[in-house]
Structure 1
């Protein structure tokens, strides 16, 4: 792990664990990076952890409140950063135009996220977006 690169970063986007963190003898990469990211966050770096496995590691290491943002959205988050259209976001952008017959886009006024469990008992996050519609 390149701690120097983490220490010198102003923004960190982390998607995907560094190994099989679920097995103690293989967790060193993920745990070391998590420790470095937590320290960087405390020093003022913006840190975003994305992806179900990485979010699970964050939960397992009790660091969810020690990073700027932790999300189970890995691939979708990366696509959004790449500038790709996401159907849910596009629907919000198009909603006022369809509702009022004009242009513009919905403004997100608040976001609420909470952890829930799916039918198989897997943790996931439910997100509510409030808009100005």
Structure 2
């Protein structure tokens, strides 16, 4: 009987952790596509994409949200210059896809990721430009 209680408790704890742990560990995309000099850059403004602004990292943390057709998209971008960290947070109920171009180095880097509701993504960039779509 004591063994059954331990087994049940173990199953309950492991089930709980399977829901809690993914919320603790943040996604850090590192799959930047590097565009070499002379390579054609892919078109950045496609149908369904909301263009973002070109963010230059300023001395203070900066937060930006997006709108598409006068509707606010629940994607928040926070920039922390001290550690050149970019945080992307989906504050809504639907998955969104974002596209980032960082042209701060001699080579342009591109990243495209889908972010689920409630998720946080972190990465490092100096001068990122963002686009968002549903």
**Do they superpose with TM above 0.5?**
no
- Give the TM-score of the pair, scaled to structure 1: 0.22
The structure whose residues are more often strand, as a share, is 2
The structure whose residues are more often helix, as a share, is 1
**Considering only CA atoms, is the larger Rg found in Structure 1 or Structure 2?**
2
- Structure of higher RCO (CA pairs closer than 8 Å, 6+ residues apart): 2
- Give the TM-score of the pair, scaled to structure 2: 0.21
